[in-house]
């Protein structure tokens, strides 16, 4: 009998109803939680295991900057290849030509383009000299940038005087080919990197030849041949000294100026030509 009592007490738990055992278990768990209250709030104070948002944004910005840089390099490389091709291939159009067509279409105004590319040998030497004297008197001395003229223009600007243009023929050619007539810091930066390429791959003679053929000489008038035929009814090879100076005088503002009104400026260009031995 004595040995059976402990066994009965040991197995008595099996006689307790399941619902009562569950309540006792919950009570024990609550008592344990009461002694360790921090366990009740672990899911509130503990931060979820998620990645912070800042690294995601930084990664996106890095990818965006990388793609933009690659795009800029590709566009610049394409422009450099076009300059290389221009050594042998005459440009069929330029950014200025496209810009004027778009402007005419947007404003619904008539537009007739006159553009004919001719060899430099078919342009009057007087017209070549007049354009150089008017636009870039140190054309054969510099390597794309006339730092002397840039310094003078900067000093005039700082002194509050009238700002002088300091763009060389090479700079103007690059702008005409790729950027149009707009002005911006980005355009200047791209132009600054492409001018040495133009000087290296084209050379002075080819630069002058392309410039004289693509430069804007009036509404829809591009190039020396078209300008001479439109204003004088003659070929570019037959233009005389005084008329060449008048034609060169309208280049800074070809949409507003007319050769017959350029008496003062054309006289100044003729004087420059004489000083330069032409």
- Cα–Cα distance for residue pair 36/41, rounded to 1 Å: 10
- Render pLDDT for 4-54 as a digit per residue (tens, 0 to 9): 444 444 444 454 455 555 655 555 555 555 555 444 444 444 555 555 557
Which residues make Cβ contacts (< 8 Å) with residue 51, sequence separation at least 6? none
Note the pLDDT of residue 2: 46
pTM, two decimals, is 0.76
Q: Has residue 82 got a pLDDT over 80? A: yes
| Mean pLDDT estimate for the chain | 83
* Long-range contacts (CB closer than 8 Å, 24 or more residues apart) made by 233-242: 235/122, 236/118, 236/122, 236/123, 236/124, 236/127, 237/122, 237/123, 237/124, 238/124, 239/124, 239/126, 239/127, 240/124, 240/126, 241/126, 241/130, 241/270, 241/273, 242/266, 242/270
For residues 241 and 270, is the Cβ–Cβ distance under 8 A? yes
Q: In degrees rounded to 5, what are phi and psi of residue 216? A: -80, 125
On the CB side of 107, CA atoms within 13 Å amount to 8
pLDDT band for 155, please (50, 70, 90 cuts). Answer: low
Three-class SS of residue 217? Answer: strand
């Amino acid at each position: 009998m004595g040995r059976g009592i402990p066994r009965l007490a040991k197995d008595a738990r099996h006689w307790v109803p399941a619902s009562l055992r569950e309540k006792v278990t919950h009570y024990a768990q609550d008592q344990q939680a009461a002694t360790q209250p921090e366990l009740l709030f672990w899911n509130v104070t503990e931060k979820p295991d998620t990645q912070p948002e800042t690294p995601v944004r930084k990664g996106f910005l890095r990818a965006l900057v990388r793609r933009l840089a690659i795009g800029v390099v590709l566009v610049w490389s394409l422009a450099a290849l076009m300059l290389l091709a221009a050594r042998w291939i005459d440009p069929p159009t330029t950014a200025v030509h496209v810009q004027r067509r778009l402007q005419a279409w947007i404003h619904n105004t008539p537009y007739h383009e006159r553009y004919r590319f001719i060899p430099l040998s078919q342009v009057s030497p007087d017209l070549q000299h007049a354009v150089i004297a008017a636009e870039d008197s140190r054309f054969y001395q510099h390597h794309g940038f006339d730092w002397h003229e840039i310094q003078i223009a900067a000093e005039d600007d700082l002194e509050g005087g009238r700002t002088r243009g300091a763009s060389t023929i090479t700079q103007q050619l690059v702008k005409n080919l790729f950027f149009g007539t707009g002005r911006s810091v980005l355009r200047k930066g791209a132009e600054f990197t492409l001018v040495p390429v133009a000087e290296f791959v084209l050379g002075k003679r080819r630069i002058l030849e392309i410039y004289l053929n693509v430069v804007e000489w009036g509404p829809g008038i591009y190039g020396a041949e078209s300008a001479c035929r439109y204003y004088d009814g003659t070929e570019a090879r037959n233009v005389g000294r005084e008329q060449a100076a008048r034609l060169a005088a309208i280049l800074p503002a070809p949409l507003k100026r007319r050769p017959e009104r350029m008496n003062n400026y054309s006289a100044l260009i003729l004087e420059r030509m004489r000083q330069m031995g032409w």
